[in-house]
Each structure stands twice: as C-alpha cells, then as structure tokens.
Amino acid sequence: MSDLAYKRTNVYEKADEKLLKEIFDYAEGYKTFLDEGKTEREVCSYVVEAAKAQGYVPFEFGMQLKAGDKVYYNNRGKNVYLIRIGTEDVAKAGIRILASHIDSPRIDLKQVPLYESDGIAFGKTHYYGGIRKYQWATIPLALHGAVALADGSVLNVKVGDDANDPVFYISDLLPHLAAKQNAKPLGEGIGGEDLNIWFGNNPYTAAADDKDKTVKENLLRILNEKYGMKESDFLSAELSLVPAYNAKDVGFDRALIGSYGHDDRVCSYPAYTALFDAENDKNTVMVVLADKEEIGSEGTTGMQCAIFTDLIDEIARSFGVSSAAVRSKSKCLSADVNAGYDPNYPEVLEKLNATYISHGAGVTKFTGARGKSGSSDADAEYVAYLRKIFDENGVIWQTGELGKVDVGGGGTVAKYIANMNIDTIDIGVPVISMHAPYEVVSKADVYETYLAFKAFIK
C-alpha cells in the first residue's frame, strides 16, 4: 500500500523486544490496580495512597497554588482530582485534563435487602449501569462497599475476594426445566427483580426461642458479630455485588487481560500513572477520576458536579487570572473505553470505523446515538492537534465509532467537559464484551493509551 493510504498499525506486529517488555511490565501494575479496586471507593483510596507516595497533598479551598505544587482533592471518597501545577502561564497554556471514570456496572443491594424464602436468605438488589442481566447469574460474587453508621463511623465491607472468604450467588434455571425461559428474548431471560443474592441457608440453631430459628435471624447474628451491624444499618449503606474473581492473562500468548471493570479503570490507570511519570513539569495537569458515569454522571461525585469548575476557579484565582480564560485554553482527553471489534459479532460494528484490539489507543471523535445525538463531537482542528502530538511521540493510535449507525450507541463524560468551553475528545482502550462481568482488553492498547496520555500532558 502506498504512503497515501491510511492503515491501522498492529502494536504487537510492530513492537520490538523493548516495547514488548514495556507493554507486559506495565500490564502487571494494571492487574494489581484492578484487583485492589473494584468499586469507586476502593479505587479512590488506592489512588489517593499512590498520590501521597508521590508527594501529593490534600487540596483545601483558599489554598495558594504555585508552580510545582501537587495536590489531590478527595471528593467524598468516590471521586478524586489530581492536580499538578506547571511552570507555564495557566491563562495562556490552560490545563491538560485527563478525565476517566472509576465506577463500573454492578449489582447494588437495596436499602431494605434481606428476606427469607423457603429456608433461603436472600438480598434484594437494584442493578447499577447497563448490564445484560443474564450474564450475572451463576458466577461467584463478592460484596464490596460501605455502611455509614448513625454514630458517624463508616464500615468498609469487602467479602468474597480472599481464598478463604465465602462468595455470593444469583441462581438460574437448570436446562432440563428451562424450556419456557429459553423461549424468551435474551434480555428478558432474567428480570431485574430476579437478581436476588443468595446470602445463607443455615437457621440460627443457638436461638432460645423457636420462632427466632430462621436463616435470616442467623444472617443478622453473623452480620452483628462480624460488623456490629443491625438490619436498619442497610438503610445508610452502599453495598455492591461485583465479580469475585481477579484479573488474569487471556490466551496462550498472554496478549490480553480478562477482568471485571476494565470500563473504565483501563483508562484511569494510564491517566494517573501518566501524570506520575510525566516527562516534564511545563503544563498544569488535572486528572479526574469520576464516579457515576455509568448512570449519567449526575450528582456530587459525577462529572457534572460543579466541583470540576470550582477547582479550575481555584487554580485561576491562585494566579490572579480569569477562570474562563483558563478553560478556553484548556484541553481534555475524555478517557473512556470503546467497543473493540469482535470477529464473533461483526454485524454490529462497521469495519472501517471500528476500534480493533491491539491496534493502539482508540480515538472517538463523537459518540451518541441516532445521528450523533447527545455527543459533543470534537473539532477537526482538535483532532489534528492530537494527531500531531501522538505521531511525533510514536504513539500507536486508531479511530473508531461505538457501533454501526443506528445499531445502538452510548456516551461518556466528554460532553460535560466540552460544555465548559474546553476542547475535548474521547480516547481509550477498545474492550471486548464491555459491561460483562469479565471483559477483555489488549495489554498493547493499555500501554499505548498510557503513552498517548504522557504525550498529551508533556
């Protein structure tokens, strides 16, 4: 093919020994990150600890920031901002923003979850984010989250990941008796109110009174002994069921990683490690690890919260410049995953405009659905600006849309940032089986995304 034609690059095909080693070494740190943080609260704590080790200090409103300062803002333990003040004039150079999210689709316990039915204790749930419900039955689940007690203390719960922990379970029918269920459309096979968690089966035999010898009573006794909890404490809890298994290499050649919640920890890890490994200190950089993306980026910890612009205001105030001027010069990479092309399901992606696994960081100019609706659609000039940076820094990248026209679609945090007058485009790692309990990405793409972020902030 001539130089005139555009062609994607396969990272593994192009990689020399050195790059291959870097790709595989980087994946080890990423897998640890995946296993240590399965919820936004856990990722937030993990990243805050990592930031402290890098010399980041807590940001306080009113603080006077200066070049070289490294601060973090821990927003309610579920959303974190890392800010490094650069040497360039922030009114002229703006801020380089990397925004990803740290919440993933999962199954949340309801506020009054416990009940007993025919000798089994269950937990009622309300799923979080876009899941295909049938995928969550008959897999081992772990319970993660926090219980806020009336005395102001917060209990952190994490059961199911250690080798000696019990796990939790959602049942499904046996094939012998599933003829009627099999005839339903796939999306209706298991309903939202069918996602009931198996919590226990042993009645409280030590109870003095026969009427207290129930499985639910025994469950309450165990929760009380282990956590000091009463049933009413679920009212002020955020407890989630997440897959109990950890990240593993996939395939004989170990080119891929399987894990729960690559979306969007696979962009969060490259974002904050790119900041920590930055090659120079010229640009002011903000890394946003947002919560609530999977349910619309709403609320105090989502990307739509005013804390985002409040922090930019604080940076601007420190230098006596206009926040609007800083935003107008700022640039953002909305770091989120895209659907990787899957040869098993070629009908949903358009081959010329899909992201392919192991072909580098995937740039998505627009998202949305039904004629790009709901997308911020980045300017061609901004794409050109990034092309130059990526190509000059040897970053392997590609471009792709989320599916064929009118097949479906989706959105990211990009539009909320772009609406603040900040050039923003989506970029991230192509994922296979996005939102499934076990998703797959390419190690090569994780690393190229990290290189793209490093090039962007330097």
Name the residue nearer to Mn ion (CB basis): 238 or 336. Answer: 336
Name the residue nearer to Mn ion (CB basis): 154 or 348. Answer: 348
User: CB of 39: closest distance to Mn ion in angstroms?
Assistant: 14
Q: Can residue 336 be called a binding residue for Mn ion (CB under 5 A)?
A: yes
User: CB of 413: closest distance to Mn ion in angstroms?
Assistant: 8
Q: Can residue 264 be called a binding residue for Mn ion (CB under 5 A)?
A: yes
Name the residue nearer to Mn ion (CB basis): 131 or 215. Answer: 131
Give just the sign of the alpha carbon dihedral 318, 415, 427, 266: positive
Q: Can residue 263 be called a binding residue for Mn ion (CB under 5 A)?
A: yes
Name the residue nearer to Mn ion (CB basis): 189 or 410. Answer: 410
Give just the sign of the alpha carbon dihedral 419, 423, 429, 430: positive
Residue nearest to Mn ion (CB): 264
Q: Can residue 161 be called a binding residue for Mn ion (CB under 5 A)?
A: no
Tell me, by CB under 5 A, how many residues bind Mn ion: 3
Name the residue nearer to Mn ion (CB basis): 116 or 264. Answer: 264
Residue 404 Cα to chain centre, angstroms: 24
User: CB of 103: closest distance to Mn ion in angstroms?
Assistant: 9
Name the residue nearer to Mn ion (CB basis): 23 or 429. Answer: 429
Name the residue nearer to Mn ion (CB basis): 159 or 414. Answer: 414
Greatest distance between any 2 Cα atoms in the chain: 85
Name the residue nearer to Mn ion (CB basis): 263 or 448. Answer: 263
Tokens, residue 388 = 């130059």
Binding mask 169-208 for Mn ion (x = CB under 5 A): ----------------------------------------
Asked if 23 contacts 447 with a C-beta cutoff of 8 angstroms, the reply is yes
User: CB of 294: closest distance to Mn ion in angstroms?
Assistant: 5
Phi, psi of 106 (to 5 degrees): -170, -170
User: CB of 412: closest distance to Mn ion in angstroms?
Assistant: 6
Site for Mn ion in 22-61 (CB under 5 A): none
User: CB of 144: closest distance to Mn ion in angstroms?
Assistant: 18
User: CB of 384: closest distance to Mn ion in angstroms?
Assistant: 25
Q: Can residue 401 be called a binding residue for Mn ion (CB under 5 A)?
A: no
Q: Can residue 103 be called a binding residue for Mn ion (CB under 5 A)?
A: no
User: CB of 138: closest distance to Mn ion in angstroms?
Assistant: 23
Q: Can residue 439 be called a binding residue for Mn ion (CB under 5 A)?
A: no
Binding mask 295-334 for Mn ion (x = CB under 5 A): ----------------------------------------
Q: Which stretch binds Mn ion (CB under 5 A): 3-11, 272-280, 335-343, 369-377?
A: 335-343
Site for Mn ion in 214-233 (CB under 5 A): none
Using CB under 5 A as the criterion, which residues of the chain lie in contact with Mn ion when the complex forms?
263-264, 336
